[in-house]
Structure 1
Amino acid sequence: MTKLVASGKSVEDAVRNGLAQLGVLEDRVKVAVLEQPSKGLFGLIGAKEARVELELLPEPDGVIEAIAFLSEVSSAMGLSVTVERLDELESVRLNVMGSDLGLLIGRRGQTLDSLQYLVNIVANRHSNRHLRIVLDAEQFRERRRHTLESLAERMASRVIRSRKEIVLEPMTSQERKIIHARLQGHSEVKTYSQGDEPNRRIVIAPR
């Protein structure tokens, strides 16, 4: 850790001088007072400035805080889990591993999505940069993606046969994105979203 000794007319001045040299705020350092200021004889002879030592603390890691939060929530749900961290290009993936994770995933991943939202709040509250965390359990995200892509293909075939549009069940923005991506550029059908969150739905229609 970086340490710096700074001085000033008062302890507060010494701390301010040290923070200016380090270029950080006070919450990023640990302060130890080495010497109190002394006016000396007649305020002139033997006068001494205050001296403090500033120790730079490590950068806060929002992901570590998010994992700790996730472990606490899982424990409160009666689940014993381990969390694997994977640093990806634009996000951090947290894979939850353990038994009986259906409770953590919820119906169609609704509980998992809610936890992901909370985990992102916790992570960004303890980070100096924006973090995007993707929460997964038992490879649910990948299995759900395959399910949605298969659904998109089946519904597209039905629209082609009937020449009538089909409105799908409400989905999250991430799930709608999977459907849109799967049918993007399809020669016979098009997709668009309608309605308001949380009941926004995808419509698959003939071109």
Structure 2
Amino acid sequence: MSEVTVAGKTVEDAIRLALEQLETTEDRLTIDVIEEGKKGFLGFGSKEAVIKATLIKDPIEEATKFLQEVTEKMGAPVTITTSMKQQYITFNLSGEKIALLIGKRGATLNALQNLTNLVANRYSKQYVRVILDAENYREKRKQSLELLADKLAKNAVRFKKKVHLEPMPSIERKVIHTALQNRHDVETTSEGVEPNRRVVIIPNR
């Protein structure tokens, strides 16, 4: 239940009843006053106040609900924990079939992250960025990408040729750029159009 119409002796009484019915706090509601209410005179002509209270949906709760529904339909139900830092919301997934949700080189996880980002921002007043992780996959992937970046940079210098990496999402391209930004023998750029945009490592002459 996300919306109720409530009557009370006063608007304040009606709001209190709405809070009890929706089991929430006043900052999570939008209130529309339908009738202000009247005290009447000597018990005659009194009229109750009537309000419509609508629950403001929380972006984290809605995104969590979305993830639970999708993963269950995929046959890989998960436990979800969340954390928030500035405009970033991180959803950490854990479960018995977590590999199914990660997919090849994180492709499924990245797709789920994009969808979850859309859901969260549908209910958020300010733009938020969603990070979807699965049993520390992001950190493990980051470490493997840093090793790959170092190896391919050495190849670029050794053979004096540009090295084109496979297409990657922006979050992974950033890892490559950051890993090589302090090297003086190579520079990096990105080429192509999403979703086929890729990092190019260029040896300095």
Q: For this structure pair, what is the TM-score category when the shorter chain's length is used for normalisation?
A: 0.7 to 0.9
Deviation at 1:155, TM superposition (A): 0.5
* Sequence identity percentage: 40
1:140: Cα distance to partner?
A: 0.9
Which of 88, 92, 95 in structure 1 is aligned with 2:85?
88
Residues 1:78 and 2:75 are matched in the alignment? yes
Is the 1:189–1:204 contact (alpha carbons within 8 Å) kept by the matching residues of 2?
Answer: yes
Paired position in structure 2 for 1:166? 163
Question: What is the identity, as a one-letter code, of the residue corresponding to 2:31?
Answer: V
Cα distance between partner residues in 2 of 1:181 and 1:49: 70
Render the CA deviation track for 1:14-47: whole Å, top value 9, x for unaligned.
Answer: xxxxxxxxxx9xx8226575748x9xxxxxxxx9
1:29 maps to a residue whose letter is I
Question: Contact (CA 8 Å) 2:37, 2:50: kept in 1 or not?
Answer: no
- 2:127 maps to a residue whose letter is H
Give the TM-score of the pair, scaled to structure 2. 0.76
1:148-203 deviations in whole A, cap 9, x for unaligned?
11100001111111111111111111111110111113110111111111111111
**DSSP-derived class of the 2:11 partner:** strand
Q: Within 5 Å, which residues of 2 pair with 1:118-157?
A: 118-157=115-154
Alpha-carbon offset, residue 53 of structure 1? 4.7
What is the 5 A alignment of 1:1-207? 5=11, 28-29=30-31, 33=35, 35=37, 52-54=49-51, 59-207=56-204
Question: Does the 8 A contact of 2:80 with 2:91 survive in 1?
Answer: yes
d(CA) in 1 for partners of 2:46, 2:119: 42
Shift of 1:48: 6.7
1:197 aligned counterpart, secondary structure? coil
Structure 2: unaligned runs, 5 residues or longer: 1-7, 13-26
- 1:129, distance to aligned residue in structure 2 (A): 2.3
Q: Which amino acid aligns with 2:11?
A: V
The Cα of 1:116 is off from its aligned counterpart by 0.7
Q: CA deviation at 1:132?
A: 1.5
1:133 Cα deviation from its structure 2 partner: 1.4
CA drift at 1:70 = 0.2
